[in-house]
Structure 1
């Protein structure tokens, strides 16, 4: 593929999908409800570090649940693949990302690091002497994945902390089930912060391209996560990356992905590139409507789906 091919593909997808009006902003977090729903950015970053972008690709938005992927990376580095699998899991819940019922049905144990319960469990297993160190390590790994300093938005964080009673309840259920490995309320507070950092669409594509490149950031050239841990991360993204729509995404697009209720979505083509999209209006499952459509179109045009049989389309 040439530069012009990537640019043309990106622009076609942006033009084709920018008029979509379905979906609505997340309204249970006041800050997210206030974001302009017309914003729409796309970006591609290759494993060679080439960057292509379109639309509102430099607008900063809340990372939200996409942060779970990068905390998972730290947890895998700290405790190893086998212990992480045993403590947090790798199976889809089949229920919404904030489901209490999913915990109740499995003895208060999380099944995956990509729903709220498992994400807090992941946060709790990190090696840290206190919550400040835990937070500093999470912010650092987000920055290393993005290739630039990522910062907390106090406005987003305050909005989130004031509305996270449901997550606090989940944290206590995890504690009662033996799947919370630090103080529950401190973990919930740090988890809420990790969701309240700001990235733009290019940042998100760089973060995804770091996974596509086997854990090396293609822009900085620095290793961020051990190569052996990347397949486990991508597998988790396939299973639960788009919440209750993860199966549909795998069926129709065939790439590991992760969404956030801030409107971001990243998809990873291992060994090739990552595609990121941002648009605030979400479907009922919590995934950006425009970003899904645009990334699906790009993946199809570039024939990136992992389940394609070479030579058969």
Structure 2
């Protein structure tokens, strides 16, 4: 497996130059554009790594999967999906056009920014700080990495430049989707996106999802299986932004990308996959990372279809 990972990374370096670093979050422009890494964690507990798997990057939209699980555990399906929909949008992840034009007025799904901000507002806690600590503890538990922390520079950069997210949040407050303090909810969202990880952490999250919410080391059920099913379905239908359909056809497994260059993928009952490639395509997905996971899926026939 180590040799396969190395070969896939080497074969796909050529795609890096086809992408760019994101500019709308200034701190992300400082990333190493040619970084490329992969980790695989099997349900037998075996771990395989290659390339820049120790390179730290911020989790960004991959965090939406975990915040959704926590909100479902705390609030239940009825509450969550009364305020956030279950359908793909076909629009960019930061689009706000359908918030007002489609009724009832609520985000289409939890994987777009509007939906994820609404989900972050649902997490229980007396303060935004308490909510973030709860989320961070949840991430640490799932990854088995007690050292996970927030990149303060990225967080502050996101907060300074997050006017579109702020506009969506205040609109959702106006129509009753967000019930809590808007700025506090945004703070939770910006901080969860700024959690710093490696491909190993991402692959462990993928293995946790592949194992239906059961901790690989302890055998403890951390999340109800039905909520894991919901999260994986959203990853499949909405996880790769408005390239999700193409990814489903070409790769065929649940995945979630982030503009930090990461891709989380899960093969139910088999493994979790973590990818890093900060150079992004026009839709916000790692340009080389998508090709890497496509090659892996083809080689091992991972598609669920």
TM bin (shorter chain): over 0.9
Q: Which runs of 5+ in 2 are unaligned?
A: none
* Aligned-partner Cα distance in 2 for 1:223–1:27: 40
Question: Which has the higher mean CA deviation after the structures are superposed, 13-22 or 293-302?
Answer: 13-22
* Aligned-partner Cα distance in 1 for 2:214–2:122: 24
* Aligned-partner Cα distance in 2 for 1:136–1:87: 24
Aligned to 2:198: 200
* Aligned-partner Cα distance in 2 for 1:225–1:8: 34
Which deviations, in whole Å up to 9, do the C-alpha atoms of 1:92-148 show, x marking residues without a partner?
111111111021222431110101110011111122222122111111111112111
1:85 to partner: Cα distance: 2.4
* Aligned-partner Cα distance in 2 for 1:259–1:220: 28
SS of the residue 1:262 aligns to: coil
CA RMSD of aligned residues (A): 1.3
- 1:32 partnered with 2:50: no
Report the CA distance shift for 1:25/1:219 in structure 2 as closer, same or farther (over 3 A). Answer: farther
SS of the residue 2:14 aligns to: coil
CA contact (8 A) 1:258 1:265 kept: yes
* Aligned-partner Cα distance in 1 for 2:281–2:100: 26
* Aligned-partner Cα distance in 1 for 2:46–2:217: 8
* Aligned-partner Cα distance in 2 for 1:104–1:300: 41
Which deviations, in whole Å up to 9, do the C-alpha atoms of 1:56-114 show, x marking residues without a partner?
00111010011111000101101122332222121111111111102122243111010
Aligned to 1:245: 243
Give the 5 Å matches for 1:1-313.
6-20=1-15, 21-107=17-103, 108-149=105-146, 150-219=148-217, 221-307=219-305
TM-score after normalising by structure 2: 0.96
Which deviations, in whole Å up to 9, do the C-alpha atoms of 1:20-45 show, x marking residues without a partner?
22110111111111111011110111
TM-score after normalising by structure 1: 0.93
* Aligned-partner Cα distance in 2 for 1:210–1:52: 16
The number of residues matched between the two structures is: 302
SS of the residue 1:216 aligns to: coil
